[in-house]
Every structure is written in C-alpha cells, then in structure tokens.
C-alpha cells in the first residue's frame, strides 16, 4: 500500500466514521467546544476591559505594558501547560482545588492563552480609532460609561477579530490541554489530543475524521463571527 493510498483510504474511512454518529467522537467534539468556547469568552471578559483601560489611560510604562501584552499573545501553549500543571498538581500551591486532569484545568490553561490575544488586539483596535472621535467625546464632556460604550461600539470590528483569533488559538491548541487535561477518555480527551493519540497508535482514519471535525468547527464559528463583523461594517458605511 503506497503512502497516497493510505491518505485516500483514511479519508474515506474518516467520512464513514463521521456519518456513523459515533458517541465517543461526539463526546470529544463537545468537550473541545465546551473548553475552547468557555476559555475564549472568559479571555474576552477579562481581555476587553483591560485592553480598553490600557488603551484609554495615559500612565507611566504604558508602552512597556503594551509590549508585554503583545509578547504574551505568542505564549507557547506547552509553557502555559507546564506552569498550570505545576500549580494545579496535588503537590502544587493550588493542589487542594483538585483541578488537575479536569476540563476546568483545560479551560484555565486556554484562558491564559486567549486573554493576552484578546487584550492585545483590543488595545490596537481602540488606539486605531479616529482621534477626532475621542476629542469630540472629550469636548462633549461625556460621562465615562457613555464614552466606553461609544468607543467599544466603534471598535466592534477589531473586537470580533480579537475573539476570532483567540478562539482559533484555543481550539487548535494541543500542548497545554494535553498536560493539564491528561487526555482522559470520555472526560478530558479533546479533538487535538485525540488526534495525537490516534496518530501514535497508527489509527490514521480516526485521526483524519477528527481533523475534519476540527476544521469544520473552526470554519462554522468563524463564519458566524465574520457575519457579525460584516454586518457591523455595512452599518457603519451606510
């Protein structure tokens, strides 16, 4: 059997697996969605407000903070995995929480990855707003909350980009969730970690099937977010 035949055969078997409604694969897919969506939302919940503050306030060391956040946007998942592992291990400082090898540990690790991504893109989105807008708001002596609403609304395009980038990083990441989730069958086995396991075991068809699901998820989530992005842009130009 040539290498190419393996790929073709793997692909055909993968389609069969996809349409067989396999419970195990369904569970793995739901877990991936649950972990990565939660991590993205939590990352956004902390990242957008902090990004807004950093962009709006003038303070000492602002450029250093921004540079740090931009560097953290490229945090290697395995390093995050290692640090979270050491903290959550039963013998670590947060071991009493008994969170290692749970989906919650995976969410924490991925949140640490998504947070700087959302934060960094939020900063640049707000900084790139037309300065006249800020001057106008200042001259109107608009209340703080109102100002925040207007600025965030104007930078909605950038904020959605931030969420797209964060979700993409989370759903495709394998190093961190492998270390802190442990790839436990039916509990912490996600799409990416399962692909690694099945590839190790030489079960390429199942690995390909999971790869297809991963791509489909990434595509549909991005399609939805891009739709929101397009709408906010159309509205602005009309």
Partner 1 sequence: MSSQKHNQIFAVVVIAIVVATAALAYYGWPMGPQRLIIATTTSTVDSGLLDYLKPYFDNKFNVNMTWLYLGTGQALQVAASGDADVLLVHDRVREDAFVASGNGTLRVTVMYNDFIIIGPPNDPAGIAGENATDALLKISQAGHDGTTVFVSRGDGSGTNALENRLWKAAGVNTTGALWYESAGQGMAPTIRIANEHIGYTISDRATFLTLQSTMNTTLNLVVLCENDSALLNPYGILLLNPIKYFYIKSDLATDFLLFMVSPQGQSLINNYTINGKQLFFPVYGHPETIGLPSENATVNYLNSLLKSRGLE
- Give residues in contact with partner 1 (CB under 8 A): 1, 3, 6, 30, 33-34, 37-38, 41, 89-92, 95, 98, 100-101, 103, 107, 153, 156, 182-187, 197, 200-203, 228, 231-232, 235
66 or 104: CB nearest partner 1: 104
42 or 69: CB nearest partner 1: 42
61 or 202: CB nearest partner 1: 202
Which residue from 45, 167, 188 is spatially nearest to 110, judged by alpha carbons? 167
Dist CA 206 CA 41 (whole Å)? 30
62 or 236: CB nearest partner 1: 236
80 touches 166 (CB < 8 A): no
12 or 68: CB nearest partner 1: 12
Dist CA 174 CA 76 (whole Å)? 11
To the nearest whole angstrom, how small is the minimum distance from the Cβ of residue 30 to partner 1? 7
Residue written as token pair 């396991």: 197
Which residue from 205, 231, 227, 225 is spatially nearest to 12, judged by alpha carbons? 205
To the nearest whole angstrom, how small is the minimum distance from the Cβ of residue 128 to partner 1? 21
69 or 117: CB nearest partner 1: 117
**CA-based max dimension of the chain:** 74
Dist CA 186 CA 126 (whole Å)? 42
To the nearest whole angstrom, how small is the minimum distance from the Cβ of residue 16 to partner 1? 17
To the nearest whole angstrom, how small is the minimum distance from the Cβ of residue 134 to partner 1? 20
To the nearest whole angstrom, how small is the minimum distance from the Cβ of residue 50 to partner 1? 18
To the nearest whole angstrom, how small is the minimum distance from the Cβ of residue 132 to partner 1? 19
* SS3 annotation, 128-156: CCCHHHHHHHHHCCCCHHHHHHHHHHHCH
Dist CA 12 CA 200 (whole Å)? 20
């Amino acid at each position: 059997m040539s290498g190419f035949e393996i790929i073709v055969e793997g692909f055909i078997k993968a389609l069969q697996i996809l349409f067989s409604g396999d419970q195990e694969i369904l569970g793995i897919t739901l877990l991936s969605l649950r972990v990565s969506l939660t991590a993205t939302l939590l990352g956004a919940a902390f990242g957008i407000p902090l990004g807004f503050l950093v962009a709006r306030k003038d303070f000492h060391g602002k450029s250093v903070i921004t540079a740090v956040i931009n560097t953290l946007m490229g945090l290697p998942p395995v390093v995050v995995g290692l640090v979270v592992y050491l903290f959550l291990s039963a013998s670590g400082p947060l071991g009493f929480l008994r969170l290692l090898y749970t989906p919650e540990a995976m969410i924490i690790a991925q949140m640490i990855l998504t947070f700087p991504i959302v934060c960094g893109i939020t900063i640049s989105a707000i900084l790139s707003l037309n300065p006249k807008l800020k001057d106008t708001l200042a001259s109107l002596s608009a209340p703080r909350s109102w100002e925040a609403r207007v600025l965030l609304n104007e930078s909605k395009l950038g904020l959605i980009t931030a969420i797209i980038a964060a979700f993409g990083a989370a759903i495709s990441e394998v190093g961190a969730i492998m270390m802190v989730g442990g790839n436990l069958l039916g509990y912490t086995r996600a799409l990416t970690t399962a692909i690694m396991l099945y590839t190790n075991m030489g079960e390429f068809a199942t690995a390909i099937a999971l790869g297809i699901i991963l791509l489909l998820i990434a595509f549909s989530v991005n399609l939805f977010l891009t739709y929101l992005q397009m709408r906010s842009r159309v509205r602005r130009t009309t």
